[in-house]
Amino acid sequence: MGIASLAIWLIYQLPPVKYHLEWRLDAFATSVRTWMRPGETVPVPPGAATSLAQMPTPSPSYAVTTTPSITHTPGPTATPIPARAILEPPRWEKQDWNNCGPATLSLALHFFGWEGDQFTISGLLKPDRGDRNVNIEELAYFVRTRAGWLRAEYRVGGTLETLKRFVAAGFPVIVEKGTTIDEAGGGWAGHYALVTGYDDTGRVFTTQDTYRGPDQRVPYPDFDANWQAFNRVYFLVYPEAKQAEVENLFGEDLDPDANRLRALATAQSETSQDPDNPLAWFNQGSNLVYFERYGEAARAFDEAISLGLPWRFTRYQFGHYIAYFNQGRFEDIIELADATLYRTSKAEESLLWRGWARYRLGEWVRAVEDFRAALEVNPNYLDAQYALDYVGGSP
C-alpha cells in the first residue's frame, strides 16, 4: 500500500469521516452491482420453475386442522371505535442509515418514558451499520431483555380496524410495510412506521416515519397495499400493568395459532381473488411455514417468486428458506441467497441459510465460512452461533 493510499485509508477510519462516507460508498457499490447485473425482481430458482411446470396451481382452500390453544373470552361489552383518534406523538427521531427498525422502536419506547435512542437499540441488534434488516423478533427481543417494565407482542394478519382499536385505546402500533426509496438504486424497500392516529372522515392514518418525517398522513388504501408485503404484521409495546387491557384488545388474535389461521385464510382469499398477486402468495407461504406445512408453503413461495417479487424482498423475509430447506431444495436456497448477498452482502440471515444448505450438501468448509461471516455482521446473532457450534466450526 502506497503512502497516499495509506493516508486515505487512515483518514477514512476517523469516526466522523467514516460515519458520513460509509453509506455513500455502500450506495455507490450497490448501484454498480445493479448496473453489472440488472434485474428488478428476485430471480426464479430452478427448483421453482420445475415445481410450477410439474404441479397444478394449488387450491386456495387448504384445510387447516390446527386447533388454537387459547380460548379468548371477550369483555361483557365491546367499546365502539371512535371515528377519529390522535395520540400525542413522541419526539421524532430521524433514522440513521439502514436503521428504521431501531429508530421506530425508539419512538414507541419513548411514548412510555424510555430513555435512550435508536443507537441504544442498534448497538445490540445491528452493531454493523451496513446490516440492512432488523426483524420483528429482534425488536421484541430488545424490549423483553432491555426494557423489562414493558411488554412486547406482535401478530400478523392485522386489519385497519385492528390498528384503530389499539390507537383509540391509547397504544401506538409499529407496522412493517413496503415503501419507495431514493438511495442505492431506488425502488421498493421494507420499512417500519409507528401508527399514532387515524381519521375515518379523511380515511387516513397518521404515522411517525423516521425516513419521511413526523405526522405523515397515509390514505387507508395506500397503507393496506404497502402493509400487505409483510403479512400485515403489527407490533405492540405496552406497560406490564396494561396486560389485561391489551389482551382484551387483541381479542381472538391473542392466541398465536388462531391469529395465524385467520392470516392464512386472508392470504388464501386474496390469492383466490387475485392469483397474480405475489405478495398474497408469499403471505400464504409464510403462514403455512408457521404450521410446518412445508410442501404447500414451498409451492406458494414458488408462485410468489415466479410472479415477481422486488429484488430487495429476500433481504427482509426468510420463510422461503425454511420451506425449501425442509423440502431438500438446497440448491434453490443457495441460488436465492447468492442473489440477495450480491447486492446486500451484510445479510446475516441469507448467510445463515446458505450455510445450512451448503452443510447439507456436504460443503462443510464453505458452510462454516458462511456461519462465521454471519457472526461478523452481527456477533449477537444466536442462530449463527448455534449453527457454528452444531457443525463443529467454533474455534
Q: How many CB atoms lie within 10 A of CB 20?
A: 9
pLDDT of 231 over the 90 cut: yes
Q: What pLDDT was estimated at residue 9? A: 42
pLDDT interval class at 52 (50, 70, 90) = confident
Tell me the per-residue pLDDT of 324-383, one tens digit each, with 9 for 90 and over: 999 999 999 999 999 999 989 999 999 999 999 999 999 999 999 999 999 999 999 999
Distance CA 38, CA 92 (A): 36
Burial of 65 (0-12, 13-18, 19+ CB in 10 A): exposed
Mean pLDDT value across the chain: 88
Q: What pLDDT was estimated at residue 79? A: 73
pLDDT interval class at 123 (50, 70, 90) = very high
CATH number of the structural domain spanning residue 154:
3.90.70.10
Bridging pattern class, strands 150-155 and 213-219: unpaired
Tell me the per-residue pLDDT of 208-222, one tens digit each, with 9 for 90 and over: 999 999 999 999 999
Q: Which three cell numbers stand for residue 156?
A: 400478523
pLDDT of 92 over the 50 cut: yes
Total number of domains constituting the chain: 1
**Does residue 212 sit within a domain?**
yes
Distance CA 378, CA 375 (A): 5
Q: In the chain, what is the straight-line distance between the N-terminal and C-terminal CA atoms, in Å?
A: 31
pLDDT interval class at 71 (50, 70, 90) = very low
Q: Which long-range contacts (CB under 8 A, 24 or more apart) does 55-62 make?
A: 55/299, 57/275, 57/303, 58/296, 58/299, 58/300, 58/303, 60/268, 60/269, 60/271, 60/272, 60/284, 61/268, 61/272, 62/264, 62/268, 62/288, 62/293, 62/296
**Does residue 162 sit within a domain?**
yes
**Does residue 27 sit within a domain?**
no
**Does residue 75 sit within a domain?**
no
**Does residue 24 sit within a domain?**
no
Distance CA 361, CA 366 (A): 10
For residue 367, give the DSSP letter: H
Q: What pLDDT was estimated at residue 61? A: 46
Q: Are 45 and 292 in contact (CB under 8 A)?
A: no
Q: Are 61 and 264 in contact (CB under 8 A)?
A: no
Handedness of CA 276, 282, 283, 287 (dihedral sign): positive
Q: What pLDDT was estimated at residue 136? A: 96
Query: pTM for this structure?
Result: 0.89
pLDDT of 141 over the 50 cut: yes
**Does residue 122 sit within a domain?**
yes
Q: Are 376 and 347 in contact (CB under 8 A)?
A: no
User: Which residue range is the domain that position 240 belongs to?
Assistant: 84-254
Query: Position 242: which residue type?
Result: K
Q: What pLDDT was estimated at residue 57? A: 55
**Does residue 299 sit within a domain?**
no
**Does residue 242 sit within a domain?**
yes
Q: What pLDDT was estimated at residue 332? A: 98
Residues of the chain above pLDDT 70, percent: 83
DSSP labels, 342-364: HH-TT-HHHHHHHHHHHHHTT-H
pLDDT interval class at 49 (50, 70, 90) = confident
**CA contacts within 13 A on the Cβ side of 147:** 27
pLDDT interval class at 181 (50, 70, 90) = confident
Q: What pLDDT was estimated at residue 233? A: 98
Cα–Cα distance list, 246 to 49, 150, 239 (Å): 45, 12, 10
The residue ranking higher by pLDDT, 368 or 47, is 368
Give me the mean pLDDT over the 187-195 stretch: 96
Q: Are 377 and 346 in contact (CB under 8 A)?
A: yes
Tell me the per-residue pLDDT of 253-302, one tens digit each, with 9 for 90 and over: 999 999 999 999 999 999 999 999 999 999 999 999 999 999 999 999 99
Q: What pLDDT was estimated at residue 185? A: 62
Give me the mean pLDDT over the 75-93 stretch: 84
